[in-house]
Amino acid sequence: MAVAFTFPGQGSQAVGMGKDLADSFPEARRVFQEVDDALGENLSKLIWEGPEEALTLTANAQPALMAVSLAAIRALESRGFSLKDKVAYVAGHSLGEYSALAAAGFVSVGDAARLLRIRGNAMQAAVPPGEGAMAAIIGLEQADVEAACAEAAKGSVCQVANDNGGGQLVISGAKAAVELAARLCTEKGAKRALMLQVSAPFHSALMTPAAEIMRDALAEVAKVAPVVPIVSNVTVTPTSDPDEISRRLVEQVVARVRWRETVEWFGANGVTALYEIGAGKVLSGLARRINRDIATASVGSSAEVETARAALVLSDAI
């Protein structure tokens, strides 16, 4: 029975997330203090008290979600859990890769927070407001979505940004092209084509300036091989090589998040249980739609920490 830990991406944030962990575990509270110290501000107050519109800003949501995920990991570790001994792979959805890598020791919590603040600001600044867009396409084959993107681009940028599984694809690029592609997808039979309320066209070629900034930022931080291999969003293959991981994190800014393929890879390589570490249950829901043979669980509260401990630490089955 192999276990993989997954870490959520932007969109899973909610005011109050992680407060229960910080109140219940000193080790979790220290994570939030590390993040506050690294950023030179009281991000914890924003996470726990809001306002929601400030927490949702990309530059805040990214380090905030990482902080909650690492707080959950530290809480588990305080109860006798060892990532190295109990988990075969880690993976994260977009920014969640940084959470996964911090959990596995690739970078420190403080450096992860600083990198995600840089990443959030760089992604926001890469495209002027109003010039980019994203849309969720539900219930249409990937080939048809890709064809619609190609038809709509016409020398501009329009591409699949997220393959989330369960018939859900997200497209990203120049606003006019994405709007046209969404209409074309509806004409091709999509159940829904919904424009998303996002601040930038993430995971598209328009993010190239942000990718260059991340290349420089990653070169400045200390990195070591993670204690558990990470399955990359870009390649859907496991790696523990620090140089390769850094390259993939740069590529990831402009590349597709291949989440459906990631869950399928887990199923094909002996993973029987996926634990979603941090805020929300988005990845657990996606995993159930992709492969119902893989058990799922969430670890984002003190009660869920104790449930996971019973399964991962106390059980003889693992």
Active site residue 94: yes
Catalytic annotation, pick one of 12, 24, 69, 94: 94
- Considering 44, 93, 99, 203, which one is annotated as catalytic? 203
Q: How far is Cα 298 from Cα 278, in angstroms, rounded to an integer?
A: 8
Report DSSP letters for 231-293, one per residue: E-TTT-SEE--HHHHHHHHHHHTTS-B-HHHHHHHHHHTTEEEEEEESS-SHHHHHHHHH-TT
Residue 135 CA to residue 214 CA, distance in Å, equals: 25
Catalytic center residues = 94, 203
